[in-house]
A and B are shown apart, each in its own frame.
Chain A
Amino acid sequence: MPETEVKATISKSTGLPRKRFYRARAHSNPLSDSHFPVPISPSQFDYSLHYPQIFPSSDQVDGSRKVQFADIGCGFGGLLISLSTLFPETLMIGMELRDKVTEYVKERILSLRVTNPGQYQNVSVVRTNSMKYIPNYFEKTQLTKMFFLFPDPHFKEKNHRRRVISPFLLDEYAYVLKPGGVIYTITDVEELGDWMKSCLENHPMFEALTEKELEADPVVKLLSSATEEGQKVARNGGQTFQAVCRRIVPSDQTS
């Protein structure tokens, strides 16, 4: 019996999980206490569980190969799937707070791995609160790209501290990003777009990419086209606001 139940959630034609079985609330409170397991430190993050083909057992984990891209609040995983084939050699992870959505992405990756042998081995997803536990997953300067696509806008001023881009959280993102690493943000809410842009541009450890650099970066195009949220905005003819910044070493940072 349970077997057929599991199968019912997978589409017969595509072999992919069907979204309607993974409906979740649109928002989740990042301030509430978490009751899911979190690695004590990055060294305890089990790569063999997430990338079984690349790391067949937990003893053989190659210390030099680590996750480099993190999609924070990855939602249904559209961007990760696109990035996976664009950067097949790079390990990447999605972080999502809503457990049902995380389950969906997990199933989606597993089915893609089955239907496309050899592909999608470099992507995975984890259910976590990235606003609290970023340092538990990544070491200093480990990441080269971080994505914050269509985050929860939290309009009320008293809820601004729940926003995933904030001056204090940027300190932590700067810590896990390698100098030269890039942070990508996009939203369809103008107010939030302005907020993210000003937080990033006022931070001493970030600097905006130039127009030229933005055009040359293949990832920038994916921001609005690859994600489910982005496609929805495009369908409705909505506007998007993006801010893309590089992690820099501030000049007064001598010590």
Chain B
Amino acid sequence: MEVEEAEAEVESNRDNVEVAPALISVHPDQTSVAVAVGPDLRVFDLLSGCAASLVDECGAPFHKDSIRAIRYGSGGKLFVSAGDDKTVKIWSTESWRCVCTVSSEKRVSAVAISEDGCHVCFADKFGVVWVVDVAGSDRKATPLLSHYCSIIPSLAFSPDGRFIVSADRDFKIRVTNFPKNPLSGAHEIQSFCLAHTEFVSCLAFVHARECPEGLLVSGSGDSTVRLWDISSGALLDTCEVAAKAGLLESNGEAEEHSHAVTDLCTTLNGSLIAVAIQSLQGIVLLSCDVSAQTLSFSKVVSIAGEAFVPTSLGFSPGEGKLWMVTGVSSLPACNYPPLARVRVISGIDVEQEPVVVRDDDIPGGERLLETLQGSASVDESAFLAAAEAVKTAMCNLLIKKQYPADNRESRKKTRNDRKLKN
């Protein structure tokens, strides 16, 4: 009995913490910044210095449930948002009009836009990646490839547009040739990148002149960032970021999975990679030597003065600014509205010393903060609770539930096919 009660408790805790982290994305020409928190999509136009007004024929709210993925296309013309409401919205970044709304059968976990801007791909919770022809007359989603029933937290196109890379919670990264006619499926797998020992949470590419397909970097629940050659799937280097950032020493008896890598982003020349780790109040900078194909720890940039654990990162290449957001769609057991806090680090450069920008000096100033955070000042006390909720939600989503042996037996007793017999 006790076992069952304890189990029921665990289950109910799980239900409570299904929350979505706040996300951020920066236009490649830094003309705008987008933040998604819960179902809210907020875009700030940096050129005019005011909030962009989004227009959708389907009416507001644009998304009816938490947004799980946002992304600008590398050309900067398109922006995509998608999430738990099973819709994918493709926006024009000029008019901020919703170009089309695609419905998905399942919740959407990741999005990517092809290098030429012609195709939008998204992954659903069953591990199927779908493709939409943006220019086509029939903008329906067609299945492209599938990871067998494994959640895909991240999707990315290689810089030369030849490959689509998908990462899953079964520790796998799959590199697939992106065909000329993707509507008939992507059948040719180039490689699998295998070495992570936990779910793979994020992917990014380092551009390299000598290899057009770029070098892949991936972050994982195993607290490492790894560098890959995607044409062979070979592991080039591994950086134990949590250990390097000193997180393991200070917290010797840390619970498992407490230092999962949540997001990473590369600077345009790829020499520096910013990494967000659960429990780290700040970011880790790694430097990548493209010709030697190595990753090395550079420094930790701490955010002094407030408990800021970034949930998502974005980079504006021209200005060398790293945009960060922390926040959560809702806090379990309290009545908080969606919470978001935006910070910027400037001087992301090998030569310079990075500086955490004060709120007064942030591009767009107070109006930007009002737009993206919902208000210029935010209640700081909720940040840590938010970071904790995001962490629990991520673990529940991506880590397989482990039941002790006797617990498993009691679960078997309640299996549906056994019920019929009794």
Residues of B within 8 A of A175 (CB): 189, 192
Contact with A along B162-189 (1 / 0, CB 8 A): 1000000011101011001000011111
**Residue in B closest to A44 when the chains form the complex, CB atoms:** B194
From DSSP, what is the main secondary structure of chain B's interface residues?
loop
Residue A180 is within 8 A (CB to CB) of chain B in the complex: no
Given known A-B contacts A203-B187, A253-B188, A171 and B145 have beta carbons under 8 A apart = yes
A40 touches B188 (CB 8 A): no
**Residue in B closest to A41 when the chains form the complex, CB atoms:** B194
B148 touches A169 (CB 8 A): yes
Residues of B within 8 A of A154 (CB): none
B187 touches A205 (CB 8 A): yes
Given known A-B contacts A33-B400, A40-B171, A168-B146, A140 and B187 have beta carbons under 8 A apart = no
Residue B254 is within 8 A (CB to CB) of chain A in the complex: no
Question: Which chain B residues numbered 186 to 203 have a C-beta less than 8 Å away from chain A?
Answer: 186-189, 191-192, 194-197
Q: Contact partner of B195 among A41, A170, A204, CB < 8 A? A: A41
Q: Contact partner of B170 among A132, A169, A205, A252, CB < 8 A? A: A132
Residue B378 is within 8 A (CB to CB) of chain A in the complex: no
Q: Contact partner of A136 among B149, B188, B194, B402, CB < 8 A? A: B194
Residue A13 is within 8 A (CB to CB) of chain B in the complex: no
A255 touches B150 (CB 8 A): no
Residues of B within 8 A of A131 (CB): 148
Give chain A nearest CB distance to B143 CB in angstroms.
Answer: 8
Q: Contact partner of B402 among A31, A35, A42, CB < 8 A? A: A35
Q: How far is the CA of A171 from the CA of B187 in the complex (A)?
A: 5
Residues of A within 8 A of B186 (CB): 171
Residue B358 is within 8 A (CB to CB) of chain A in the complex: no
- Chain A contact residue count (CB 8 A cutoff): 30
Q: How far is the CA of A33 from the CA of B401 in the complex (A)?
A: 8
B162 touches A255 (CB 8 A): yes
Residues of A within 8 A of B400 (CB): 33-35
Residue A228 is within 8 A (CB to CB) of chain B in the complex: no
B195 touches A174 (CB 8 A): no
B148 touches A205 (CB 8 A): no
Given known A-B contacts A40-B194, A41-B195, A255-B162, A31 and B187 have beta carbons under 8 A apart = no
Given known A-B contacts A132-B148, A168-B148, A255-B177, A40 and B191 have beta carbons under 8 A apart = no
Contact with B along A129-145 (1 / 0, CB 8 A): 00111011000100000
Q: How far is the CA of A204 from the CA of B128 in the complex (A)?
A: 19
Q: How far is the CA of A125 from the CA of B167 in the complex (A)?
A: 29
Residue A167 is within 8 A (CB to CB) of chain B in the complex: yes
**Residue in A closest to B170 when the chains form the complex, CB atoms:** A132
Residue among B172, B176, B187, B196 facing the most chain A CB atoms (10 A cut-off): B187
Give chain B nearest CB distance to A116 CB in angstroms.
Answer: 36
Give chain B nearest CB distance to A188 CB in angstroms.
Answer: 23
Contact with B along A206-235 (1 / 0, CB 8 A): 000000000000000000000000000000
Question: Which chain A residues numbered 122 to 179 have a C-beta less than 8 Å away from chain B?
Answer: 131-133, 135-136, 140, 161, 167-172, 174-175
Residues of A within 8 A of B401 (CB): 33
Residues of A within 8 A of B189 (CB): 140, 171-172, 174-175
Residues of A within 8 A of B148 (CB): 30, 131-132, 168-169
Give chain B nearest CB distance to A98 CB in angstroms.
Answer: 15
Q: How far is the CA of A174 from the CA of B149 in the complex (A)?
A: 19
**Residue in A closest to B163 when the chains form the complex, CB atoms:** A255
**Residue in A closest to B193 when the chains form the complex, CB atoms:** A41
Q: How far is the CA of A158 from the CA of B382 in the complex (A)?
A: 43
Q: How far is the CA of A102 from the CA of B150 in the complex (A)?
A: 25
B187 touches A135 (CB 8 A): no
Q: How far is the CA of A174 from the CA of B187 in the complex (A)?
A: 8
Q: How far is the CA of A203 from the CA of B188 in the complex (A)?
A: 11
Give chain A nearest CB distance to B191 CB in angstroms.
Answer: 7
Contact with A along B203-232 (1 / 0, CB 8 A): 000000000000000000000000000000
Residue among B177, B194, B197 facing the most chain A CB atoms (10 A cut-off): B194
Residues of B within 8 A of A174 (CB): 187-189
Give chain B nearest CB distance to A187 CB in angstroms.
Answer: 20
Residues of B within 8 A of A161 (CB): 126, 149
B192 touches A135 (CB 8 A): yes
Give chain B nearest CB distance to A82 CB in angstroms.
Answer: 29
Question: Which chain A residues numbered 21 to 54 have a C-beta less than 8 Å away from chain B?
Answer: 30-31, 33-35, 40-42
Q: How far is the CA of A135 from the CA of B143 in the complex (A)?
A: 21
Residues of B within 8 A of A133 (CB): 170
A167 touches B194 (CB 8 A): no
Residues of B within 8 A of A34 (CB): 400
Residues of A within 8 A of B126 (CB): 161
Q: How far is the CA of A236 from the CA of B233 in the complex (A)?
A: 48
Residues of A within 8 A of B143 (CB): 168
Give chain B nearest CB distance to A243 CB in angstroms.
Answer: 18
A135 touches B172 (CB 8 A): yes
**Residue in A closest to B126 when the chains form the complex, CB atoms:** A161
Residues of B within 8 A of A170 (CB): 187
Residues of A within 8 A of B145 (CB): 168, 171
Give chain A nearest CB distance to B97 CB in angstroms.
Answer: 35
Give chain A nearest CB distance to B182 CB in angstroms.
Answer: 13
The 4 closest A-B pairs by CB, nearest first: A168-B146, A41-B194, A175-B189, A135-B192
Chain A to chain B contacts (Cβ below 8 Å), 14 pairs: A31-B149, A33-B400, A41-B192, A41-B194, A41-B195, A136-B194, A140-B233, A161-B126, A168-B146, A169-B146, A169-B148, A171-B189, A204-B187, A253-B188
Other A-B contacts than A174-B189, A203-B187, 11 sampled, CB-CB below 8 A, are A30-B148, A31-B149, A42-B194, A132-B170, A133-B170, A140-B233, A169-B148, A170-B187, A171-B176, A205-B187, A255-B177
Name B residues whose Cβ lies closer than 8 Å to a Cβ of A: 126, 128, 143, 145-146, 148-150, 162, 170-172, 174, 176-177, 180, 185-189, 191-192, 194-197, 233, 400-402
